[in-house]
Amino acid sequence: MDRINDPNNLNSDKFSWRVSLGGALGLLVLLPIVKPDPFLDIIKFVPDGIGVTLIVTLGSIFVASIIAILVGIGRSYNKVLNRVLSIYVEIFRGIPLLVQVFYVYFVLGRFLSLPREGSAILALSLCYGAYMAEIVRAGIISIPRGQIEAATALGMNKIQIYQHVIIPQAFRIILPPFGNEFIMLVKDSSLVSIIAVSDLMRRGREYASATFNYFEAFTIVALMYLVLTLCLSKFVSLLEARMSLEVRRKKTRE
């Protein structure tokens, strides 16, 4: 039980986080110095993609979270909504993300004349929204039934119960698995390079196929993805720490 509300038991351990980030950044600095021939070029060429990767990832995190929260709440709120929304979840969970990326880009994207990045964000959000909706739903049904009955007995209506009893508690539960999904989203955003979005992955591939330095190019790409995901996992840890009961207790005491 102690580990559950322990503020130190967070998404990532401080020490291992520092070692990983330090290692990745160290290599990114050391490699071009030690072996400037391909690495310096790569370091100059590849990072142009970071901005695009960030836009696609952050956009998808935002849209997917909104989809997930709405769908998750909808599925637990009402029987009819549950039926309808579970069709969405089943379909988008069951089709490979790569196929969805193609499909959204070549069918929906053309039809709605979306930019490439827009198609990428839409495809990632629809897929991850479906996964994350299940996390939201799990968080909601994990709230003890007795609390909902107590709120009902106090005369609160369904919306008030969701707003004041269920969602605040579910939020704390879904945060760690959400962080997990965010990190997976960063990595899966590399799939959108296939529709010629010039993200980190695409830049790496362009460099590699032009110079045949595959090993060196993808080493740098891998390290840069690692730095991105590590920053994100830190962010989620901080958010978790802020939300943890211990911290909130201290706040009310002060």
Partner 1 sequence: MNDTVLRVENISKHFPRTGYALKNVSLEVKKGEVICLIGPSGSGKSTFLRCINLLEHISEGSIEFKGEYIGRESVQDSKSLEKKAQKRQKKMKRKDSLHAHLARERIGMVFQNFNLFSHLSILDNVCLAPCKVKKEPLDQAQKKAKALLERVGLFNKQNDYPSELSGGQQQRVAIARALAMDPELLLFDEPTSALDPETIKEVLDVMQTLAVEGRTMLIATHEMGFAKAVSDRVCFMDSGQIIESGIPQDFFAQPKEERTREFLSHIL
Per rule CB under 8 A, is residue 245 in the interface with partner 1?
Answer: yes
253 binds partner 1 (CB under 8 A): yes
Vertex 154, ends 148 and 157: CA angle to 5°?
65
Residues in contact with 222: Cβ distance below 8 Å, sequence separation at least 6, in sequence order:
none
- Choice between 69 and 143, CB closer to partner 1: 143
How far apart are alpha carbons 114 and 111 in whole angstroms? 8
**Of residues 34 and 153, the one with the C-beta less far from partner 1:** 153
Q: Quick one: which of 14, 35, 242, 249 contacts partner 1 (CB under 8 A)?
A: 249
Distance in Å, CB of 1 to partner 1, minimum: 10
Footprint of partner 1 on 124-183 (CB under 8 A): 144, 146-147, 149-157, 160, 164-165, 168-169, 172
Size of the site for partner 1 (CB under 8 A): 22
| Cβ atoms of 140 and 76 closer than 8 Å | yes
**Minimal distance in Å, beta carbon 164 to partner 1?**
6
Residue number, 141 or 184, with CB nearest to partner 1: 141
Residue number, 3 or 113, with CB nearest to partner 1: 3
Dihedrals φ, ψ of 25, to 5°?
-65, -40
Structure token digits, residue 34: 């030690």
Cα–Cα–Cα angle for 66, 72, 75, rounded to 5 degrees: 135
The continuous run of DSSP H or E covering 20 comes out as: helix 14-34
**Applying CB under 8 A, which residues contact partner 1?**
144, 146-147, 149-157, 160, 164-165, 168-169, 172, 245, 249, 252-253
